[in-house]
Structures are given as structure tokens and as C-alpha cells.
Amino acid sequence: MQLINNSVYEQKTQQRAQAIAKTREEQQKAKMARLEKHFNTLAGYSRLATTVPTTASPQVNVEDICFLVADGGSKLIKVKGEMVS
């Protein structure tokens, strides 16, 4: 006595193989989308870094005392002399 018909077994095997292939394709597409998003983010940061001027340091005058702004704006360095415009 045979438990499963041969044609039913073949059909189920083909369906399973197609489902596995579809899942692999979806995972690959999702991975590529994540990589593309990551690279676009990195490209955006490199464009921002090139547009920031690095030659001139901004100066601030507080109660007639001149300071240079340093470390991304988190530090002030006291400067002797007058403020340069």
C-alpha cells in the first residue's frame, strides 16, 4: 500500500522548491535595498563634509573678549587681541 500518490508528491516538491526560491529572491532584494540605503547615507555624509569650510575658524566676541570656536562649536579658545571680521 502506497501512502502518497507519486504525482501529489512531485507537485508538493515543486511547490516547496518554488517557495524556497521566492524566499531567497525576496531576501536578496531586501539585502540589496539595505546596502543601497547605507551607501546613499554614506554618500550624503561625504558631500556634507566637503562643503564645510576648514580654513577659517569662527570667532565670537563676549563682553569684549575674543574667542575662537573649536571642536565643532563645543569649545571656546580665548584669543588675545581684536576680533577679525
36 and 69 part of one domain: no
- Higher-confidence position of 33 and 4: 33
Query: HEC states along 24-76?
Result: HHHHHHHHHHHHHHHHHHHHHHHHHHHHCCCCCCCEEEECCEEEEEEHHHCEE
Q: Supply the DSSP symbol for 1.
A: -
Q: Supply the DSSP symbol for 85.
A: -
Tell me the mean pLDDT in the region 62-78: 80
24 and 42 part of one domain: yes
Q: What do you get for the CA distance between the two ends of the chain, in Å?
A: 98
48 and 61 part of one domain: no
What are the tens digits of pLDDT across the range 13-38? 999 999 999 999 999 999 999 999 88
14 and 46 part of one domain: yes
pLDDT above 60: residue 83: no
Cβ count near 68 (within 10 Å): 14
10 and 30 part of one domain: yes
How many domains is the chain partitioned into structurally?
Answer: 2
77 and 65 part of one domain: yes
Which residue range(s) make up the domain with 59?
54-85
11 and 34 part of one domain: yes
44 and 77 part of one domain: no
Q: For the sheet containing 59-62, what is the strand order?
A: 59-62, 65-70, 75-79
- Higher-confidence position of 48 and 70: 70
Instruction: Tell me the pTM.
Output: 0.45
22 and 1 part of one domain: yes
> What pLDDT is recorded for position 66?
83
